[in-house]
Structure 1
Amino acid sequence: MGFVGIHDATLEQSGFAEVTRPAGFGPLWKSYASHSGFARGYYHLCAPSDRWSIAIHDFTLEKDALLEFKLPEYLSITWYESISGEELTPYRKLRAKALWGFCSDQGGWRGLVHGGVPVRAIGIEVTPRMSTEYLEAEYEGQFENVRDAFLSVNDMHAFPEMRALLASLYPHPGDEGKSQLFYEGKVLEALGLLAERTRISRQKPRAGLSEEDARRIRSVVAYIDDHAARNLLVSDLARAACMSPTKFKESFRIETGLTLTAYVQRRRASMAESLLRQPDLTIAQVARAVGYTCAGRFSKVFQRETGMLPSEYRSELAHR
């Protein structure tokens, strides 16, 4: 049966049933479909081994759903072409056009996935044992915690090698003959890319914040979350954190992993997703409500953050 056992309960819970494979998907693949109720679309899984699998998501939920799946322990790295939602344990905004690492930690996944927005993704999933054995063989003694290497891939755009590798796994007509050896080689190649990225990042000097500075930045972040639509000035936020503007900007980047501008834009886009669900509001009104006087500027930021223009996002909601 292979690795597919990890997903059996999840697929059944979500109303998916096995169907005929599309062109390009060879005998190593299983395809599942749901055309009514909870979700509409497909899920494809290549799981010939009990050590690894490749999963493709291509479906849309009918409505917002709080999902909770109990899963055995595994590690994954996934490219999300399209998605809208929030992972709750730990909390992080799920964004399109980004890579995400995940570790089930013998627990599972819990999050809110927004309906009407396609979930389109492709990723690899491996057991901790396979990851540990590979990394120990290739990088003896350099990786004590494999989990951290996967979780470090968090909303990452700047990993083009991994994105290209995952994209190459999607079957196309004529790919039916690709072997288990081919796919397993790609999984190992992905582990190698992840290991090299982690090894190189460790060699770079890393700045840290004092406990007091980190606490002050977190307080400012909480303020920004509640007031992102306002005209937030660096000078005011720095004063609130008892820092110079230069120190504040650098401390903010270290604590959040983002510049102040990027963080505010992300927060505004998240607010806009909720407002766009209200059909009585125009896109210009939504733009003003989240802090933009120019609807064109708002549209560019929203597209960068979600992968869709506001009009496209609203259209997806209307057709669900």
Structure 2
Amino acid sequence: MKVTLQERALIAAGFSRESSPEGFGPLWRSYRVRNERCQGWFHSLSLEDEPWSVSIHDFVIRDDFVMNFDSPRYLTVTWFRSIAGEEFSPYRKLRPNSIWGQSIGGGPWRGVAHGGIPVQSVSIEVTPEFSARFLDLEYEGEFRNVEKAFVSLGRNDEFPEMKALLSGLWPQPGDEGRSKLFYGGKVLEAMSLIVERTRREAPGSRRAASPADCERIHDVVCYIDDHCAADLRVPDLAAMACMSPTKFKSTFKLVTGMTVIGYVQSRRVSQAEQLMRRDDLTIGQIAHAVGYACAGRFSAVFKREVGMLPSEFRKSVVARRCQGGEPNR
């Protein structure tokens, strides 16, 4: 993969080539940006003769940044050390210390990264052709749908093996000698982890919802988006979808990849992130505005979703707006 999608986008955003920091060997290309909108680094390991690449993001943007990419098709798995934002179609919350899988290409990908919070991540990207060859060699026709396996990542954040693998790819002082063979081996290991994890899933977890059920769930999701601060009860939402509560909960998770409660909480937190950019509201007032009577409960949910307490989030946003600064490696 000669030039990764992220690399092209970031170059267009003002990043320029610079010498790599300590720990990054000669295989890496590093880019840096220092302006009023963004501060930090992007590192890419993309070799001319290899169908895979490794990317590291380490920057902070001042304001929310809408991502809207249309690219050649490839598969990617990412570990986010730090992030705040959302992916659209389907809506999914971007969370710190989480694993994310995507199939990029064949149409635009859209999302938003929230300003003031460092974007720090490690990604492996592979071509579909490489994936097909890997599966033919390692599994002899037993497993075919690796694209679906990638896309399912992010619906369950508990993937400690992948977190350990990807976090270990972030170079530290003394790692300059890591070779092409080292990184290629880690790419194959990541592929194996994804395939084996998917094969261990119960067959019933991979069934598909009917088009009619998908449409009903979509309507309920739109309702939740517009009324996320309200007292949303599963029986009422199930009635809107013309389903029993049991079927509604299982179908909702099948379609969205999230539980009903998890989805409502993610929407409330997203709304709270926007409100905390205002100086005229206390955190308690914001908690109440997004549907939490107890500020303590709101703080616990916010920290799980964003990776920091509401007070820390507000302090970070204010600091980034008042003065520049780069995220620490």
TM-score (norm 1): 0.90
Deviation string, structure 1 residues 181-228 (Cα, Å, up to 9, x no partner): 111100000001111122222645656555544444333332222222
Distance in 1 of aligned mates of 2:90 and 2:247: 28
> What's the counterpart of residue 96 of structure 2?
96
> Structure 1 residue 129 and structure 2 residue 124: aligned?
no
Once the two structures are TM-superposed, the CA of residue 14 in structure 1 deviates from its matched residue by 1.4
Question: Which residue does 2:64 correspond to in 1?
Answer: 64
Q: Tell me if 1:235 matches 2:235.
A: yes
SS of aligned partner of 2:192 = helix
**2:319 pairs with 1:319:** yes
Deviations 1:128-178 (A, max 9, x none): 221111111111223444322221213431211111110111111111111
Distance 1:300 1:10, change over 3 A: same
In the aligned structure 1, how far is the partner of 2:307 from the partner of 2:136?
Answer: 38
**2-side partners of 1:218 and 1:132: how far apart?**
33
Q: How many Å separate the matches in 2 of 1:27 and 1:188? A: 21
1:186 aligned onto 2:186: yes
Corresponding position of 1:295: 295
- C-alpha contact (below 8 Å) 1:64/1:112 kept by paired residues: yes
Q: Is the 8 A contact 2:24 2:176 kept in 1?
A: yes
Of the structure 1 ranges 244-253 and 151-160, higher mean CA displacement relative to structure 2 is found in 244-253
Q: How big is the shift at 1:34?
A: 0.7
CA distance in 2, matches of 1:257, 1:209: 12
Gaps of 5+ in 2: 321-329
Would the aligned equivalents of 2:155 and 2:257 in 1 still touch at CA under 8 Å?
A: no
Distance in 2 between the 1:143 and 1:156 partners? 21
1:34 aligns with 2:33: yes
Shift of 1:75: 1.4
Q: Tell me the residue number matched to 2:8.
A: 9
CA contact (8 A) 1:41 1:59 kept: yes
Number of the residue aligned with 1:25: 24
**Which position in structure 1 is the counterpart of 2:249?**
249
What is the identity, as a one-letter code, of the residue corresponding to 1:138?
Answer: E
Q: Which amino acid aligns with 2:316?
A: E
The answer to whether residue 245 in structure 2 is matched with residue 263 in structure 1 is no
Is the contact made by 1:81 and 1:307 (CA closer than 8 Å) also made in structure 2? Answer: no
Three-state SS of the structure 2 residue aligned to 1:319 is helix
Q: Which residue of 1 aligns with 2:150?
A: 150
1:296 to 1:252, Cα distance in 2 relative to 1, 3 A: same
Aligned to 2:285: 285
Equivalenced residue count is 319
Whole-angstrom distance in 2 between the partners of 1:257 and 1:72: 25
SS across alignment from 2:162? helix
**Deviation by residue 1:264-310 (Cα, 9 ceiling, x = unmatched):** 21121111111111111111000000111111110100111111211
Residue 75, structure 1, aligned to residue 75, structure 2: yes
Partner of 2:326: none
User: Higher mean Cα deviation, 56-65 or 45-54?
Assistant: 45-54
Residues 186/235 of structure 1: CA separation in 2 closer, same or farther (3 Å cut): same
Query: What is the TM-score normalised by the length of structure 2?
Result: 0.88
The letter of the residue matching 1:141 is: G
Q: Distance in 2 between matches of 1:274 and 1:47?
A: 36
For the 8 Å contact 2:99–2:157, the answer to whether it is kept is: yes
